[in-house]
Amino acid sequence: MPDADAPASSATDDDRYGEISVELEGEHGGTLVVSGENIPRITLTRAPGAEVDDHIVIGTRDPAHLTLTVDGHDATVLPAKGRLSRRSYRVDVTHAGTSYRLVPDSIPSSRLTRDGKHLGDFSSDGDRRVIAEWRAGAPIEPLDAAIGYALSAAFGTGGQPMWMMAVDAVSTALP
């Protein structure tokens, strides 16, 4: 049986920024670190003692229990509650006056925006492996990649449309 406190890591070769590492460390994955030679280091930490949800890699969507830093500088992370609609699974980040949003836009993937402009699409199944598909012609910066990888790895990507969730709920309730 694997040690719950042992670091677990995954590396991806991004088309624009080379190798990007995603590492989950600490008690039950309390800290997620994204790093690479060509991107800033992102650290997302769950507060000690916070209730852990096993369905979320970082363990919580409660912003009161999450801290995000970019190369050691504080940023604000605000995950939505994650209820019925795809939009309810969005995650917002603000750093140095720039706003980012990762929001599901299909079953497997989520769209990353910077100040409302679509930069690319991310896919992750919750195993720390992240795939980024950058939008042609979008001016992608190293911080965009770092934030996209961190949010995708920490919270997962994609979501079912509301009508599909409603059908699932009804079919589960029927005898």
List average pLDDT for each run of 10 residues in the chain, which is 175 residues long: 58 94 86 97 96 92 97 97 76 98 92 98 87 95 98 86 48 66
pLDDT of 3: 45
- The residue type of 157 is T
Taking the chain, what is the end-to-end CA distance rounded to the nearest angstrom?
38
For position 167, what pLDDT does the model report?
A: 47
pTM over 0.85? The answer is yes
Tokens of 84: 């019925």
Q: Do 153 and 32 contact (CB within 8 A), yes or no?
A: yes
Kind and range of the H or E element at 118? strand 117-123
Q: State pLDDT tens for residues 76-119.
A: 999 998 766 667 789 999 999 999 999 999 888 999 999 999 99
The string of DSSP letters for 19-61 reads: EEEEEEESTTS-EEEEEETTEEEEEEEEPTTPPP-TTSTTS--
